[in-house]
Structure 1
């Protein structure tokens, strides 16, 4: 009777894949074979109890090996397995409920050399099928803590009911929730109480189990035990077993399987689970689900030159090298959903590793082709990065040589879907970067035709609903266009950083963060524990764990501005705690330190909130070019209270009387700025010391008592050699409509290029260059190689896209205007390219120095008082009320109506605004209307200016104690734009801080008053 049940069960298991003809059934029950064994076509072997094949087990096409579903424990030890037929345990309809183990015998010496994939291998060959369906762990493969598990606890509370799935004796892991990825702890279940699961020994560390500041930081608890087990070698160093699906296999379906001690670290291509160059396997319905891969010597799941595999709800723990690994770039239409990857270790030894398997490149998910689905996966503890998208020009040679992918260009392929994922206790949560690690491969690999190439997809990249905490970096993205939507970033030394080219791009740039939440310091204080990965932060007076990894940007930042433009929208920044007395700063917006690249002036902040964050914007780096030029448009005033203000570093170079100064963000100024590209055209990219610095001084000066201008404020720029720019590039941020004077302190270039970047149609810049004495300007050409018109004098403001060279001062003045609009706000230039000029000069002597150090003195004739700073326009007219607590609309330079107002009208508080078509009172053209400020003494019946906030009030009674020092040996006196009832002209910002004005007979007289 028993034999009949056994035969029926065995035949039922394999009936679906075998031919309808009767199959011979052979029962192995405690069988031992000392050599190789072949299961021939037409035969089914049913396993019972303990069986050993010391050699190779071959399952021929038309043959099958299965297990007796009524046997409590089935064990099969083999040297290796070759599957051309069927190896099955359980089925999708009737998962196996007992215990079955397939173990590699790991005979020494091995039966095959390392180059032979049969060594300690389970190979599913052409026509072969592997179907393993266990029951354990399929209901709840992993869950999370419901309550924090403190150090020393022996009973943990879970978020999900594991009744009927988890059992006494099962192995589980409780993941780290700190900076150190190694703090994940493995325990054995010893019992179940009504409220918690008992474990065999107290926890060594605290594991957080709550939402904090709205962000889920609960530790994951993963089940390692399954009732079907594939067990590799544990006594052969880095050489475990491996499971490999080869080209032409029929199906591979694993559900509820434990794979332990697999992966081989001494040779390429031997991974725990490996789909190897199998092409599109959609018809095979292959998957790995609800399984556990742990204690791996090399990877967890590798998909190589394969498409249409489902990897779902698995647990991977204690993995060496990349865990979830897309190998060549020819892997697409695969789905990774709901997996837990915990503790991924770098591979530091062994005969084989990729350069990226070391700390800097290591990842839980190594993504070489973005055309895959990544949904609801969790990475908990990596000695590197959670998710890394790394692309090449084409697939690597093993896949490319198949001929299946002649046109596949991984670096151009859009991201199919990436949502709901999370990564914590990592170096980096998510990274997009094609760093060249190839030179560190051991042994060297052939990457002919497939160099690492920056990711430039043909569609916008969107990564949504991502959570990361306790990371050195939450996300680091070298990409031109990306949207991060609904991100939660907590306890990360650096939240998000975008990178592009460092010079003017030829494509749209869009790094957007929206609908997100950043928490600098959460209630998860971590463990008071120090290691290579973390330290204790005593400054915040809470004994908070902190990242001990390299912190290149010095201070904690939520968003590290770099290159740009960036767009941060509808995002909350919370608990970025600073202690200035300790020189300890945390900020929502900062800039990458030690950065000499161009920082886009079009970066924007819109509708953001700052909770318990003293410094919404803080520029720690006051030395490098990047820190000097990091500006941000505060579009709605959520940073400064001033709509459309430009947030700038609090330096004299940017300060004007119309700016608001605030310790929390620096300056909020009405003047709009553009990037200006200044390039020493030169092909010498090796002798960089010869170029030196560019010194820029502002010729528009704020007036002071006595009518004397202060020394012109200036900044020096280090620049750097950028081959794509054609030479040595400097990139000051200059105000539209203002005048600047520049000089090269080491070497003035014989060929100079100047471009307007991120400008708007009609923007005008006046830029003067001081040349060495005796210089002859041989040509000044625009970007279309057409000669610019010559202005009539040094101070000629009537022409645009013109120049004047004063041979007495050796001063070249360029009046540049952007003629065309940018067709896309994310493009830095019009479609025809950035407006600009190329200047060629001949110096008096080829051997004499071409340095210029007196540009301030030579530029003195161009200096003016206040003019450009008063010529400001208001871009958006909002509803106006004198009772509004903050200025809801700030101004920008460039409005032709406002800039046409003369000094006399301005001194009376009469300005103008564009109102097209203009009809009625105050119109002086068909689109321009006069308006009157609230403090105006004029009797003219003009309408109130719609952009004014409130009247300036109050004035001090004391006078300045000393007079300012004039600029050294100016060649002319700056032109004044002040006069009249002095206190009338004090800005709201100055008045608010007690700064007013007084008559002073020493002030220069304005002869242009009307």
Structure 2
């Protein structure tokens, strides 16, 4: 309903609104649009009001007040809606009162009050628990819903998932948007995405777990972490992808939207034309490693083939043309590859879509192959083949991946430099002085501040140079350092420079800095090498200021995945006063004086055998021929016998299975999840025979084979059911619905197989409001 100015009266009371609103600007269930003054100020003796409305399951907000003043909204409930439920649009609205309203399961939030009128604020706070005052927030938390999302659940006619669009769903979970409170993981179980034109998922947040998922005909599934040192997200958080299947090219070919003009329509690896995410030349990557820390566990990658049009297709890849940090603790374990040409691809300089590979994220990308399931080397770290900051003589090159596999102790540096912040930093490891690494930094526009985040091999020495004058201020944070890990860094400065160097610990959540300690000048470099990180040495002959970056504290407990220690982020802060603007490049004086021979890294251990337990534990995917099981489960408890609706039965692909002789209890059908064949039908008379409870529980636990679909319904009553309810929970039933009331209905579709597919469901209506009905199509196991 859209209410415009000039009306006689608008008084809405006791109205129910559902399935209203659209993901288009201006389409809301109730919308006062530029109505002006709707109270006494506007000449209304009976001011406009909304009283006692029920607004639920709507697609775009609940009540929108735009350019309207003096409206009363009271005793109204908004439930399960998209967008801010009570929404004042411009911020210029006045004299609007929101009194005794309720918003539940509203995404991203119930209230967006841009109107700061005092009457309205008092109305909001009346009767509210505590002393709540709405806060302005320019970075809204929670579910971010793209414009134009799909607003209906998946169905046989239109199987696209609820809320899907070109980039699927974006989710940024934080606990009350308060980083000082404990982190709580956001768990996505049974996540399915396919045929996305851009990316299968982009998830930014704190602790996020994606498990039992399937992704097909899509690309670049990405975790964008908020746990990194350059961000302000949840300290110590990480993202986990577990027990998922990625399919590069499935049997679902899709459709050409506009023959001759559709850039996403082209030949697949087998020559058949199909829809291709981002077009026919884009290098598919099943998972795009970015930010971190992330973990990929027990995942299967299938059908990723290189073609002449798409030479860069791989199972694992990295964010393209990336200047941001990449956590060295990113890890992959128990991975399985089927019909995959390139397991990993960093890309090469000049390759289409990969750019010049000269940004920090491009050069510093890496991951840890925990068990060797990717590379064949247990504990190996995979780096860009040109990264001499991580190299050692034992590294194994993989030119086809543009990568090298190494094993050593790795960490990162986070460096903030300023005055100037426009110069590139040249980081050189003393063991490889002929291979300096030039880092442009995060900021790609001229600025007095710059940030760098290189990967480093710990317990090594490096020198730092610049393509201009050295910065006046440099702050060095050891990131991912374990206790007692160290680096020796020599910073190039022009002659005559004086220094003030301090040690500081910073709390990343509160920003409070503590433990300030001034470093003292050492007599020689050996004193720095043997010291505890609280002195420095100025070598005037080479123009190098040496400091020892040492981790004094451990990362344990909830800090195990943190960049910083339990005490906070340790740092060394260098303030330099220079009398010259000369270019600060000391390479010719530093080497060969400080050159070292490369030392071996940790042993490279080949994995002894093929991993039998690697990969996903048989998640549900569609077969190439699109095999489904059509299922209807109808339950009638005694209290629902006389109510209208279908008769009690379980129907599988048109064949009906009823409770024999109308015996009261559980009617159960078991179906092979691979073939769709019914392998058992049984009735358990739990209403009359107490022993039938144990018999049903034993049947589920011992007689039903793995990878079976379990269909169950109640007929009449189940008086003695106890242990069997626990057994039903083992195949997917959930509290509180499984606690079936006396004479009530209960319908259930479950699965026995070690995980919970997203089609498992139950219906347990209140007694006397049945029957309980489930109608669904179940995809058979791939």
**Conserved in 2, the CA contact under 8 Å of 1:391 and 1:454?**
no
Q: Quick check: 1:861 aligned with 2:593?
A: yes
Contact 1:770–1:858 (Cα < 8 Å) also in 2: no
**Structure 1 residue 742 corresponds to structure 2 residue 446:** no
Pick closer, same or farther for the CA change 1:603–1:113 going to 2, 3 Å.
Answer: closer
Q: Deviation at 1:528? A: 3.7
* Mapped contact 1:575–1:613 kept (Cα < 8 A): yes
Q: CA deviation at 1:831?
A: 3.4
> Any conservation in 2 of the 1:432–1:455 contact (CA below 8 Å)?
no
Deviation at 1:428, TM superposition (A): 0.8
> In the alignment, which residue of structure 2 is the partner of 1:125?
12
Q: What is the alpha-carbon distance in structure 2 between the residues aligned to residue 455 and residue 279 of structure 1?
A: 39
**1:535 correspondence with 2:264:** yes
Counterpart for residue 731 of structure 1: 453
Answer whether contact 2:90 2:114 (CA < 8 A) is retained: no
Could you tell me how far apart the structure 2 residues matched to 1:583 and 1:856 are?
Answer: 44
Report what 1:372 is aligned to.
105
Q: 1:326 aligns with which of 83, 88, 95?
A: 83
In structure 2, the residue matched to 1:160 is none
2:327 to 593, 600, 616: 600
Deviations 1:411-447 (A, max 9, x none): 79778xxx9993597311111369xxxxxxxxxxxxx
Aligned 8 A contact 1:614 1:664 in 2: no
CA distance 1:537–1:838, shift in 2 (3 Å):
same
Q: 1:118 to 1:542 in 2, by over 3 A?
A: farther
User: SS of 1:610's equivalent?
Assistant: strand
Alignment partners' CA distance in 1, 2:274 and 2:457: 43
Instruction: Output aligned runs, 1:4-23, within 5 Å.
Output: none
- Deviation, structure 1 residue 476: 1.6
1:413 and 1:457 in contact (8 A); partners too: no
The reply to whether residue 822 of structure 1 matches residue 527 of structure 2 is no
Task: State the distance in 2 between where 1:430 and 1:588 align.
Answer: 22
Does 2:170 match 1:427?
A: no
Give secondary structure in 2 for the equivalent of 1:627: helix
Partner of 2:482: 760
Deviation for aligned residue 1:736? 0.9
| Contact kept? 2:328, 2:367, Cα under 8 Å | yes
Question: Which whole-Å CA distance do the structure 2 matches of 1:458 and 1:782 have between them?
Answer: 26
Q: Secondary structure at the match of 1:372?
A: strand
Q: Determine whether 1:563 maps to 2:279.
A: no
2:430 to 686, 699, 704: 699
Provide the secondary structure at the position in 2 that maps to 1:668.
strand
* SS of residue matched to 1:773: coil
Kindly indicate whether residue 564 of structure 2 is the aligned counterpart of residue 838 of structure 1. no
In the TM superposition, residue 792 of structure 1 has moved relative to its aligned partner by 4.8
Give structure 2 stretches of 5+ with no counterpart. Answer: 37-47, 65-74, 92-101, 144-152, 155-159, 348-353, 506-514, 613-782
Superposed CA deviations along residues 631-667 of structure 1, whole A, max 9, x for unmatched, are 1111122211222221111125133221222234722
CA distance in 2, matches of 1:413, 1:678: 29
- What's the CA shift string for 1:268-290, capped at 9, x where partnerless? 9xxxxxxx997998xx7x756xx
Please state if 1:884 is matched with 2:596. no
* Contact 1:792–1:804 (8 Å) recurs in 2: yes
**2:438 pairs with 1:666:** no
* Whole-Å separation in 1 of the counterparts to 2:414 and 2:596: 24
Cα offset, 1:504, TM superposition = 5.5
Q: 2:536 aligns with which of 787, 800, 803?
A: 803
2:370 paired with 1:631: no
With over 3 angstroms needed to count, the CA separation of the structure-2 counterparts of 1:695 and 1:131, relative to structure 1, is: closer
| Structure 2: distance between partners of 1:509 and 1:544 | 39
What's the counterpart of residue 728 of structure 2? none
* Aligned-residue offset at 1:717: 0.7
- Distance (whole Å) between structure 2 residues aligned to residue 549 and residue 115 of structure 1: 48
Q: Which residue of 1 aligns with 2:202?
A: 476
Structure 1, residues 478-522: CA drift from partner, whole Å, max 9, x if none?
323322222222111322342436705472231222222222221
Q: What whole-Å deviation, never above 9, does each CA across 1:170-192 have from its counterpart, x for those lacking one?
A: xxxxxxxxxxxxxxxxxxxxxxx
Preserved CA contact (<8 Å) 1:424 1:469: no
1:340 corresponding residue in structure 2: none
Superposition deviation, residue 231 in structure 1: 14
Structure 2 CA distance, aligned partners of 1:414 and 1:486? 22
1:563 Cα deviation after fit? 1.9
C-alpha distance 712-278 of structure 1, shift in aligned 2 (>3 A): farther
- Partner SS for 1:493: coil
C-alpha contact (below 8 Å) 1:768/1:859 kept by paired residues: no
Q: Indicate if the aligned counterparts of 1:675 and 1:757 stay in contact, CA closer than 8 A.
A: yes
Structure 1 residues 846-890: Cα deviation after superposition (integer angstroms, max 9, x where no partner): xx33x23342651432221133x34x489xxxxx9x9935899xx
> How high is the TM-score relative to the length of structure 1?
0.45
Alpha carbons of 1:611 and 1:803: their partners in 2 closer, same or farther (altered >3 Å)? farther
Q: Measure the CA separation in 2 of the matches of 1:467 and 1:118.
A: 50
Q: 2:28–2:62: 8 Å Cα contact kept in structure 1?
A: no
CA spacing shift, 1:812–1:304, aligned 2, 3 Å: same
Secondary structure of residue in 2 paired with 1:403: helix
CA gap of 1:454–1:777, structure 2 versus 1, over 3 A, is closer
Give the Cα–Cα distance (whole angstroms) in 2 for the partners of residues 492 and 813 of structure 1.
49
- The aligned runs of 1:841-920 (5 Å cut-off) are 841-845=576-580, 848-849=581-582, 851-855=583-587, 857-867=589-599, 869-870=600-601, 872=602, 884-885=608-609
Alignment correspondent of 2:247: 519
Other structure's SS at 2:414 match: strand
Aligned twin of 1:544: 274
Conserved? CA contact 2:336–2:373, under 8 Å: yes
- Pairing of 1:258-337 with structure 2 (within 5 A): 300=59, 302-304=61-63, 325-328=82-85
C-alpha separation in 2, matches of 1:742 and 1:392: 51
* 1:681 CA displacement: 3.4
Larger Cα-atom Rg: 1
Q: Which one scores higher on RCO, CA 8 angstroms, separation ≥ 6?
A: 2
Return the alpha-carbon distance in structure 2 between the equivalents of residues 425 and 412 of structure 1: 20
- Distance in 2, matches of 1:279 and 1:475, equals 41
3-state secondary structure, aligned to 2:165 = strand
Question: In the TM superposition, what whole-angstrom CA distance separates every residue of 1:507-545 from its partner, at most 9, and x where no partner exists?
Answer: 223122222222222111222444887522336333222
User: Partners in 2 of 1:239 and 1:644 — Cα distance?
Assistant: 52
Q: CA deviation at 1:454?
A: 11
Cα distance between partner residues in 2 of 1:279 and 1:549: 52
Is the contact between residue 321 and residue 359 of structure 2 (CA under 8 Å) also seen in structure 1? yes
| Alpha-carbon shift at residue 693 of structure 1 (Å) | 0.5
- Which whole-Å CA distance do the structure 2 matches of 1:670 and 1:473 have between them? 32
Deviation at 1:837, TM superposition (A): 0.7
**Corresponding residue for 1:968?**
none
Look up the match of 2:416: 679
Q: Distance in 1 between matches of 2:396 and 2:236?
A: 32
Aligned residue for 2:574, secondary structure, equals strand
Aligned to 1:510: 238
Residue 243 of structure 1, CA deviation = 5.7
In the alignment, the residues of structure 2 paired with residue 477 and residue 241 of structure 1 have an alpha-carbon distance, to the nearest angstrom, of 28
Among 296, 311, 316, the alignment partner of 1:584 is 311
Residue number among 612, 637, 657 corresponding to 2:393 in the alignment = 657
1:461 aligned onto 2:177: no
Q: Call closer, same or farther: CA 1:857–1:509 in 2, change over 3 Å.
A: farther
Looking at structure 2, the residues matched to 615 and 544 of structure 1 have their Cα atoms a distance apart, in angstroms, of 21
Pair 792,837 (structure 1): closer, same or farther in 2 beyond 3 Å:
same
Distance 1:530 1:583 in 2: 22
Map residues 22-101 of structure 1 onto 2, 5 A cutoff. Answer: none
User: 1 CA distance for matches of 2:17 and 2:551?
Assistant: 67
Q: Secondary structure at the match of 2:537?
A: strand
Partner of 2:214: 488
Find the residue that maps to 2:264 and give its secondary structure. strand
Secondary structure class of the residue paired with 1:712:
coil
